[in-house]
Amino acid sequence: MKVRIIFGLCLLLASLLFTFPPVVLAQETPPQETIELTTPYTKLEGTSGASFEFAITLKYKGTEAQVFNLSATGPKDWTTYITPSYPKDQRILDIRVEPGGYGQTINVYTAPPPWLTPEPGEYPITVEAASGEIKGSINLTAIVTARYNLSLTTPDGRFNTTATAGRNNYFTVVVANTGTAAIDNITFSSYKPTGWTVEFTPEKIDSLAAGGGKTIDVNIKPGAKAIAGDYEVVLTANGRQGTDDITIRVTVETPTIWGWVGVGIIVLVIAGLAYVFTRFSRR
């Protein structure tokens, strides 16, 4: 009898197991830990020689705070480093980030050295954050545009000359392109006293390449009736992409013939006075 009861219970248990298989509780997998680098502006534009600064936010998703090693790779020969959002005079190599929240903000600074004037174009920067297997990165771009700079000067650094009233007086200036791109359609003009003439040879330069220069002959001719003394003449070089001017102090001298005329008048006056004095002294 007992055997039958035990056998029946076994059959009942087997049927229950067949009808309702055992439920295996799934083990919870830990949340995936990630670090995300974001910025409102991945591309910044500036003229050649300018510096660039990007604001980067690090958002960490995980269970507990992590210290992330930081690195920034910029263009060759450029200075590139990372600073906290404040103070910006510190350079950092890592940062502690709490999970969730607004994250941590860092600044990425990059600039060419003073002696380098980069050609116009796009220059990539890569920023990375890593803590063990948790890694993230972001790609940035510094867009360099042409820098235009037209310079007008003299070969010897002197900004004064001597001229004779009513006569041609030649002076030399140098126009140079110290920017990073060509400057087109350069013309010349002057601001001078009334009655004077100023002529440039050549009168125009169609295009001046970056780093190039050209010598210009200037004929400064004071008016024939100009009084001896010092005057100012402003010379201007005006290109499509830039302009510059210099002021020349011109010392005007009277023509030599007028000097002799003046001497002759003085001699005649002295001779006349001597004649009058001699004649009246005899009486």
Same domain, 132 and 38: yes
Structural domain contains residue 236: yes
| Same domain (yes/no): 118, 199 | no
Nearest to 100 by CA among 187, 14, 33: 33
Q: Is 95 left (phi over 0), alpha (psi -120 to 50) or beta?
A: beta
- Vertex 172: Cα angle to 152 and 239 (nearest 5): 30
Mean pLDDT rounded to a whole number for the chain = 87
**Which residues sit opposite 177 in a β-bridge?**
150
pLDDT computed for residue 25 by the predictor: 44
262 has pLDDT over 60: no
| Domains identified in the chain, total number | 2
Whether 272 maps to a domain, the answer reads no
Q: Is the dihedral of CA 15, 18, 20, 24 positive or negative?
A: positive
Q: Does the pLDDT value for residue 72 go beyond 60?
A: yes
Q: What is the DSSP string of 270-282?
A: HHHHHHHHHHHHH
Domain membership flag for residue 9? no
Do 245 and 160 sit in the same domain of this protein?
A: yes
CATH of the domain at 190: 2.60.40.10
- State which residues form the domain around 77: 34-145
CB of 184 closer than 8 Å to CB of 205:
no
- Give the percent of the chain with pLDDT over 70: 80
Q: Do 141 and 39 belong together in one domain?
A: yes
Is residue 123 located within the same domain as residue 158?
A: no
